[in-house]
Structure 1
Amino acid sequence: MVVANTNDNAYTPTIVAQIRYLLQWFREWSEMERGDFLPVLVHGFGANGGAINGLLPIMESLCKEDGRPLSLFKCRIKLFTEWVQTWSDDDKESFLSGIRSIDMDFAERYQQKASAYVVSSSEHCNGINGDLNVEEVI
Structure 2
Amino acid sequence: MATEPEPISYVSVQEQRCVLSWFQGWSAAQRERFLQDLLGKAVPGKVCTLLDSLSTLQVQALPNIFECQLRLWTQWFEAWGEEERNHFLHMLEERDPLFVAHFYRSVAGTAGRD
TM-score of the two chains, using structure 2 as the length reference: 0.75
Can you give the 5+ residue segments of structure 2 that lack an aligned partner in the other structure?
Answer: 1-9
For residue 22 of structure 1, what is the aligned residue in structure 2? 19
Cα offset for 1:116? Answer: 2.0
Can you give the 5+ residue segments of structure 1 that lack an aligned partner in the other structure?
Answer: 1-12, 124-138
For residue 59 of structure 1, what is the aligned residue in structure 2? 51
Which one has a bigger Cα radius of gyration?
A: 1
For residue 78 of structure 1, what is the aligned residue in structure 2? 71
- Output the amino acid matched with 2:109: A
Aligned identity (percent) is: 23
Structure with more helix by fraction: 2
- The 2-side partners of 1:82 and 1:71 are apart by 17
TM-score of the two chains, using structure 1 as the length reference: 0.63
- Give the 3-state SS of the residue equivalent to 1:101 in structure 2: helix
Structure with more strand by fraction: 1
Counterpart selection for 2:107 from 103, 114, 118 = 114
Greater relative CO (CA pairs within 8 A, separation 6+): 2
1:97-134 superposed Cα distances (whole Å, 9 cap, x missing partner): 111111111111000011223432xx3xxxxxxxxxxx
Number of residue pairs aligned between Structure 1 and Structure 2: 102
Cα offset for 1:16? Answer: 1.8
